[in-house]
Structure 1
Amino acid sequence: MATFMVIAFAASTVDIACDGHAVESLHQRHHGWANSAQVGGAYLGAAIGSGLFLLLVAQVEWAWAMISMAVLLSLLGLPFLLSPSSKPEAARLQRPSVTNALRRVEMRKGLVLAAFYAASQKWGLFMLGPFLIDAGVDLGSLGTINGAGGMIVGFGCAIAGGACVRAWGSRGIMILALILQTVALSGLGLAAWTGNTTQSLLIPLALASSSGIMAIGFVGLYARFMELSDPRQGGVDFTLFQCTDALVSMIGGVGSGWIAQHFGYGACFGAAAAFTALTLPVVVLLGQRPPSLSEENGISHSSGAVARQL
């Protein structure tokens, strides 16, 4: 358990550092592609962690598989070790803190947006696996949805989401994802109510909702997180958003199971579709692009660069 805690602490620390590095380093016009890398990288990382690792265990046993994964992680970390820091620590004028984050109105609005959006995208999908099993989908097909198929669809849609964010902005992509997710969840709910649970219908709906639509939507949401994060404490601000996402997800996992147990899968997916539709006005209202934080603080990226040179 102590080893697992060390691993969890290391993984979360690296995640925070990567988020902070992206917020501090990238101009707003690059946020779409940055979050394509984040979301698409998550799908690739899951494939490496749950797929490649199991293949290594089968071939060379546990100890050597762990050593191989440690070497791979070290190689993946080389770009950060070899690249110069975008903001030397000496140039930091503000000490990052949670208190500073929560003082900002835009940050508090962003936390509300994160809660609603995460609930709308995730709550209906917690019971997707059990529903597919009970509907007669075989384990091989379910493995395709959760494994290679989900990775390919999710990675492709994450790249597409980055291009769309670049073209239309994060709010438009979040709204599009909410509309598509409402349709997909409604389809799953209707299939559960009517008993029309053929694999030719369920598998495309499951792949679309759990991988494709979610990937597009979260590219838009993470781009919004980057816009709302203060570059002077990007790691803290972005982490607060993601912790809100995680907390809402845990609550939704319990609630979805309770609804499905007492009222059935149709009620579970139907309620999730209704909540997703109700989230649309929240995203329209809170998803407006905030004023640039650099303008808010009277500091631009260019003037900051000049100041560092001086």
Structure 2
Amino acid sequence: MSAPHAPSLPRLLLAAGGIYTAQSLVGGLTFLGVPAVLRAENVSLDRIGLVSLAMLVWALKFLWAAPVERWRLGIDGRRRSRALILAGEAVVVLALVAFGLAVGMDFSILLGLLVLMALASATVDIACDAFLIERFPDEKRGLANVAQVGGGYLGMIFGSGLFVAAYAAFGWMVASFLLAVLVLLFSVPMATVREADVMPLAPSSPTPGLLNGLRRREIRIGIAMTIAFELGGRLAQALAGPFLVDAGLPLATLGLLNGAGGVAAGLAGTAFGGALAHRFGAERAMFAVSCLHVLSLVALASAVVLASDHLSLLVGLFVIESAVMAAGFVTSYARLMALASPSQPGVDFTLFQCASAIAAAICGMGGAMLASRAGYAATFALAALLTVLVPPLLFLFEHRLKKGISS
């Protein structure tokens, strides 16, 4: 029996974009949509805070990445990525239906369903990342990462804004069912993609595992590169909302900025980063964005220190910072995908993403604590300083990677 033909690039991009949109929809629902609706239902803030526990799943998905990857790889070059992705999305759809039917039930049931959706979506993420790494050559991965990051921004719109609007108009059940239908629709392009076989791995290839990944020089350098590249931006990002509120920005305006403004800036940055990676390659594009990030964060920190009463200037700089961060995600993901081993791409890339999630969590907590003691000006200045260090660090990391290859 002949192997199926490899799907075209546009079909792959559409399929991947749909899956990443569905995954981010679950994140937006958990992080923004559900807390807003629960508060409108007079649920206490301490209980609403428990919803964030579901997001810890994304930082811990490295714990089950290896068994997922072992099942996905199959034997004789046959891949089960599509089957795994569609099974995960089916779980999300069923959980959303149950979520709609659980209106008025105990809070623990709602929390359990959110954790189930997060588990399914995080597992899908492992398989879909590996799918992209295998299907896209190095010079095309910038396009794949546009679908990855762009889908993430679109999904946040559906999971937060659309859910809240549908709840206000039609109630909890209809809003949940609507999201279930959307996840189903977003999964259709992946269902139509026939996953082509690849060359089977050599019998001597190691079994996918976390330790196998961490033993590789490229993975350790990639983890360090991820943390260094994102640290300054994550620190500034965590303080953006509290700073603007304290600076006098109305909550309604902040909501619009985080919603439509943030998504527009994110999509613009995503397109820009994808174009850079496609035109110049991931390595040079990542370095270029790191230099742009120095400019944007130094300008933002300077405005915080010297012009904290100029709200329009500050808002504009935060929007630019959001766009540069999105471009950075695209270019860094394209670079990191190239470091993943063909024998376990899902495990390796998961390690990079979990390092990013843990860094974001640390910046969120540490930034708030630092700002409460040293003030916003010192904290944003630190974020700018950390970003200034990134270009030389990237140069050092790339030198060590090339040295490892040549030795």
TM-based fold match above 0.5: yes
Letter in 2 for 1:98: L
Letter in 1 for 2:350: T
- 1:73-99 Cα offsets, whole Å, 9 max, x none, are 1121122222112337x9455432212
Distance of aligned partners of 1:195 and 1:160 in 2 relative to their CA distance in 1, 3 Å threshold: closer
Shift of 1:157: 1.7
Shift of 1:290: 5.7
- 1:123-151 Cα offsets, whole Å, 9 max, x none, are 12211111111111122321222111111
2:362 matches 1:251: yes
Q: For 2:281 and 2:124, how far apart are their aligned partners in 1?
A: 28
One of 153, 156, 159 as aligned partner of 1:49: 159
Letter in 2 for 1:270: A
Q: For 1:204 and 1:195, how far apart are their aligned partners in 2?
A: 13
User: Which piece of structure 1 moves more, 163-172 or 6-15?
Assistant: 163-172
User: Which piece of structure 1 moves more, 280-289 or 43-52?
Assistant: 280-289
One of 262, 265, 270 as aligned partner of 2:376: 265
Shift of 1:26: 0.9
- 1:16-57 Cα offsets, whole Å, 9 max, x none, are 111011011111111111111111111111111111111211
SS of residue matched to 2:389 = helix
Query: Of the two structures, which has the highest relative contact order with CA contacts closer than 8 Å and spacing of 6 or more?
Result: 1
One of 213, 236, 258 as aligned partner of 1:124: 236
Residue in 2 aligned with 1:31?
141
Shift of 1:181: 2.4
One of 220, 224, 233 as aligned partner of 1:112: 224
- 1:118-177 Cα offsets, whole Å, 9 max, x none, are 213211221111111111112232122211111112112201211111111223222232
One of 386, 400, 406 as aligned partner of 1:275: 386
Q: For 1:110 and 1:45, how far apart are their aligned partners in 2?
A: 27
Q: For 1:163 and 1:180, how far apart are their aligned partners in 2?
A: 15
SS of residue matched to 1:126 = helix
Q: For 1:281 and 1:119, how far apart are their aligned partners in 2?
A: 15
Q: For 1:236 and 1:127, how far apart are their aligned partners in 2?
A: 31
One of 233, 237, 242 as aligned partner of 2:344: 233
SS of residue matched to 1:87 = coil
Mapped contact 1:178–1:276 kept (Cα < 8 A): yes
Mapped contact 2:142–2:277 kept (Cα < 8 A): yes
Residue in 2 aligned with 1:180?
292
Q: For 1:240 and 1:275, how far apart are their aligned partners in 2?
A: 22
Q: Give the TM-score of the pair, scaled to structure 2.
A: 0.68
Q: For 2:165 and 2:243, how far apart are their aligned partners in 1?
A: 28
Stretches of structure 2 lacking an aligned partner (at least 5 in a row)? 1-110
- 1:176-203 Cα offsets, whole Å, 9 max, x none, are 3222322322233223323542222011
2:235 matches 1:145: no
SS of residue matched to 1:83 = coil
Q: For 1:198 and 1:81, how far apart are their aligned partners in 2?
A: 50
Q: Give the TM-score of the pair, scaled to structure 1.
A: 0.88
SS of residue matched to 2:133 = helix
Mapped contact 1:226–1:238 kept (Cα < 8 A): yes
Q: For 2:320 and 2:400, how far apart are their aligned partners in 1?
A: 28
Mapped contact 1:161–1:220 kept (Cα < 8 A): yes
User: Which piece of structure 1 moves more, 173-182 or 145-154?
Assistant: 173-182
User: Which piece of structure 1 moves more, 42-51 or 195-204?
Assistant: 195-204
SS of residue matched to 1:86 = coil
Shift of 1:205: 0.3
Would you say how many aligned residue pairs link Structure 1 and Structure 2?
A: 291
One of 77, 94, 97 as aligned partner of 2:187: 77
Residue in 2 aligned with 1:168?
280
